[in-house]
Chain A
């Protein structure tokens, strides 16, 4: 079964590009352009991993990860940020983030991290 990934970022063109690139690599990718939209999608369809930007208008990534973990504690979340603030990294880990990646990040590194996150999910679940 292909890896099911939700990519969340407020930059629409970034979302559509990354989703397309992931799909070309056989990943079932879905995009969301806000924290609110991400939460709705998480309730509606199953995902293995969420790739989540920290800085977004409205619900930011740190708020979104808290809400996801409350309702879907087994869903792995990888945080993405453009500025790599130490505080965000620590807060993200405290909220249960699997990994924290700083943008721009090579897609192959993202995919490797997605697979590691999915493997942990499966291992913990089992």
Chain B
């Protein structure tokens, strides 16, 4: 681990403390450390509290409704309403993110890390990417509303799945670029030099040497950015994810893409604003949402630990 100098510092501190204090307890230091632990425990307790409330209220509803809740469409009566359409909608949105943001984001990261020199242009792009990652998600919703829903209405069909998917793809693009660039930066230069030394071109170096070594890091980053998109609500409300019940069957792909849609977090938001009789449904939908996110996060952490490489 990289903490060796620190470990030495700690043992040094220990020795000095012993010899100077001669076994006396410094109560103010103890109090300070206790205060820090209290703050950390408080943070973790909030998380635990949230999870307990959600599961205690949500699991009974899920247990009672069973698969019916997972596959039923939206409805105006809480006992009939389910998250079927919402799950399908969210999966479609993830597909957009995977197909659009991943290639574009990884491509941009490869350009910034492997091709570009440290020019004014590169620094500009880097600054822009970092700032795009900090733009509130609802502003991306406005972008989608202006461009996809209004300006390109003939192509997207207005407030459609296509508009929502494209907006989501743009939203996660900067995150994909940043995480992929970090993964590429972690690959040591010696790997590249060795490949250049035997006459590989830049693309051959990237394709056969740098990308395979950076793959676990890139993969983890893309999974986490997908999780982020899965829980995102605000932009979808602006680009017209349906709030309130809808019941439409589309039998062709174009109809689906240009048709109305909803997503899991949007459904949670909609039900949260309904009368208290919907409260059980809200918690059940949140359980579904959180379970999916925890699984995805666990997968990312597992991949990172499994394939992490120290040079």
Do A and B come together as binding partners?
A: no
Could you list which residues of chain A lie within 8 angstroms of chain B, going by C-beta atoms? none
